[in-house]
């Protein structure tokens, strides 16, 4: 029995398949398991809290885990050890979420492409058909992550407080969210996962895309992401497409295509939930 897992900072999807690739259970969802942010006890608690997962803990032989925060050795090793301690009969393979995005979006295993993640966080890499290449180490949501859910959440809150929102959008924003300063600061500085809290605000953009302000906000973030991340690979962009994974990219597809045309690169595939593509990939590899 095989567990395939796709985890962001907000949520984590688990799919159980047998050795023939047949799905054994409906998709299981837990809170996100980002080992760069959460402590080991918290990671373990989230996994063990899922009764659905625990019913398979002795039956699982392989775990393919792809997750945010798994791009460097220390958090990747910590999560590997936690998974091995819970699923004691399983061989565990933990990789960064970028590899999940690659395997879920490319058209065939040897396709070269630039692949972007735009979900709670954001990242970008080049896959040469064999190996993953990154030229900027992500420093996370505080300093980077342009065009991600948490980036747009920050921009919306700042625009609200700096009075840079159109009046109708400002009224809609304060009706949908608790915008009291003390409440926002409590969630940002006293609660775990402030990046996930910020990302919750991004939904507002896609409920109000008839606003020119919202459309320009989406484009502004994506232009920053393009200049800082996608254009690391300017030479490669001459011959390969740019694929996208994640809910922000999926719902901002029109704006992404417009900016891509403006800045001169080719857009490829969009995959809202990489987990489906990962099941296909690992089924083919069985």
CA distance 168 to 262: 29
**Bridge partner list, 122:** 118
SS3 242: strand
Q: Where in the chain are the domains? A: 2-100+275-285
**β pairing state of 2-7 and 11-17:** antiparallel
Residue 29 is predicted with a pLDDT of: 95
Q: What is the mean pLDDT of residues 54-80?
A: 93
Confidence of residue 166 (pLDDT cuts 50, 70, 90): very high
Note the pLDDT tens digit of each residue in 209-228: 999 999 999 999 999 999 99
% of the chain beyond a pLDDT of 70: 100
**Bridge partner list, 155:** none
Long-range contact pairs involving 239-242 (C-beta distance under 8 Å, separation at least 24)? 239/112, 240/112, 240/113, 240/114, 240/126, 240/266, 241/113, 241/114, 241/266, 241/267, 241/268, 241/269, 242/113, 242/114, 242/115, 242/116, 242/266, 242/267, 242/268
Write the CA distances from 178 to 89, 120, 137, 174, 205, integer angstroms: 46, 20, 34, 7, 16
Pick the CATH number of 2-100+275-285 from 3.40.630.10, 3.10.20.30, 3.30.420.40, 2.60.40.60: 3.30.420.40
Query: The tokens of 103 are what?
Result: 């395997």
| Strongest mean pLDDT among 20-24, 90-94, 130-134, 271-275 | 90-94
Query: What integer best gives the mean pLDDT of the chain?
Result: 94
């Amino acid at each position: 029995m095989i567990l395939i897992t796709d985890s962001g900072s907000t949520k984590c999807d688990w799919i159980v398949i047998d050795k023939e690739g047949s799905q054994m259970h409906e998709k299981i969802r837990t809170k996100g398991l980002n080992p760069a942010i959460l402590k080991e006890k918290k990671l373990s608690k989230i996994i063990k809290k899922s009764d659905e997962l625990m019913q398979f803990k002795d039956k699982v032989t392989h775990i393919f885990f792809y997750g945010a925060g798994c791009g460097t050795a220390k958090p990747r090793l910590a999560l590997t050890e936690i998974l091995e301690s819970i699923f004691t009969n399983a061989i565990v393979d933990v990789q960064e979420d970028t590899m999940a995005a690659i395997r879920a979006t490319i058209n065939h295993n040897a396709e070269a492409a630039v692949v972007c993640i735009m979900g709670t966080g954001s990242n970008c890499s080049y896959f040469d058909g064999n190996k993953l290449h990154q030229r900027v180490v992500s420093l996370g949501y505080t300093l980077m992550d342009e065009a991600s859910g948490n980036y747009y959440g920050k921009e919306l809150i700042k625009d609200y407080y700096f009075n840079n929102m159109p009046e109708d959008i400002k009224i809609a924003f304060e009706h949908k969210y608790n915008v009291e300063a003390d409440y926002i600061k409590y969630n940002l500085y006293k609660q775990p996962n402030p990046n996930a809290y910020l990302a919750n605000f991004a939904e507002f953009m896609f409920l109000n895309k008839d606003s020119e302000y919202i459309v320009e906000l989406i484009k502004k973030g994506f232009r920053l992401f393009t200049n800082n991340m996608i254009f690391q690979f300017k030479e490669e962009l001459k011959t390969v497409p740019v694929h996208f994974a994640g809910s922000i990219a999926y719902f901002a597809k029109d704006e992404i295509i417009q900016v891509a045309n403006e800045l001169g690169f080719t857009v490829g595939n969009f995959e809202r939930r990489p987990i489906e593509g990962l099941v296909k990939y690992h089924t083919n590899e069985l």
